[in-house]
Structure 1
Amino acid sequence: MSDNLQNDHVIIESPKPVDTTLPMVIYALYLASIVTGGLTALVGVVIAYVYQGKGPEWLDRHYRYQIRTFWIGLLYFCVSGVLMFVLIGFVLWLVAVVWLVIRCVKGFKGLQEKRSPDNLETWLV
């Protein structure tokens, strides 16, 4: 009879906690790209492409947000680089840096709150 009682107990495993270390590293790589000339951002976007689709939906949205941040940022920085010959590019480069910092901070905050980033499809912040 004791065997039957042991079989009636069901062990419920708690859901595995989601590791947000890698997306945080990607945001940090994006921030470091300001001083490395974009090299670390390239590493970050490769990581985002590799790990996209391998986690819960809210985490996958972060990877998508990071991929979009890379490509939109590349466009913004290239345009500002071309316009540096007209001197307005220096101001646009500074605006692009502020844009990148804001997007990374918003991403960090979303990761800490275990939710997807706000305004996933926007080109702004």
Structure 2
Amino acid sequence: MAEKIPGSATPGFDFNKATIVSLLYIGGFVVGVTGLIGFILALVWKDEVAGTWEESHLQFHIMTFLIGLLVGIIGSILSFILIGIPILIALAVWILVRSVLALLKAQKHEPIADPKTWLF
């Protein structure tokens, strides 16, 4: 498949690797295991996309999963004293926003500016 010029638009929905992982993360809100599948695919595909715009996306998704896992564990433990519930809700929103923003950039074939950021 030919490398697309960043920022150029093509009609239709492009199922590139970054898009697939984003969709799996978003699907994790309905079918929980798809987030884990997305993380595994991001790890497997990371070396395959080295040097392309997708490399930053997969790094971004790996960071999203690892930070989400850490905060999810902390939020789950703290849910026994009720403060964990708002933390888990905020975590869900954070993951959803990061995944949607990454999906939009993946459709434009634009790299993530700072894939190691904790924000967006």
| TM-score, normalising length: structure 1 | 0.78
> Match for 2:48 among 38, 51, 54?
54
Q: Which stretch shows the higher mean deviation, 67-76 or 115-124? A: 115-124
Task: Give the whole-Å Cα distance in 1 for the aligned partners of 2:55 and 2:113.
Answer: 13
Is 1:85 matched with 2:80? yes
The gaps in structure 1 that reach 5 residues or longer are 1-14
Counterpart in the other structure of 2:35:
41
Greater C-alpha radius of gyration: 1
Task: Give the whole-Å Cα distance in 2 for the aligned partners of 1:24 and 1:54.
Answer: 15
Contact 1:81 1:93 (8 Å CA) reproduced: yes
Paired residue secondary structure (1:36): coil
Contact 2:22 2:99 (8 Å CA) reproduced: yes
Task: Give the whole-Å Cα distance in 2 for the aligned partners of 1:124 and 1:78.
Answer: 19
- Read off the aligned partner of 2:75 and give its amino acid letter: S
Q: CA deviation at 1:120?
A: 1.5
Contact 1:106 1:117 (8 Å CA) reproduced: no
Task: Give the whole-Å Cα distance in 2 for the aligned partners of 1:67 and 1:110.
Answer: 16
Map Cα deviations across residues 53-99 of structure 1 (whole Å, 9 max, x no partner).
22342111111111111101101111111110011111111100010
> Match for 1:113 among 96, 101, 108?
108
Counterpart in the other structure of 2:10:
none
Paired residue secondary structure (1:45): helix
* Structure with bigger RCO (C-alpha 8 Å, 6+ apart): 2
Q: CA deviation at 1:20?
A: 4.5
- % identical aligned pairs: 29
Question: What is the RMSD computed on CA atoms of the aligned residues?
Answer: 1.9
| TM-score, normalising length: structure 2 | 0.81
Q: CA deviation at 1:21?
A: 2.6
**Residues matched between the structures, number:** 110
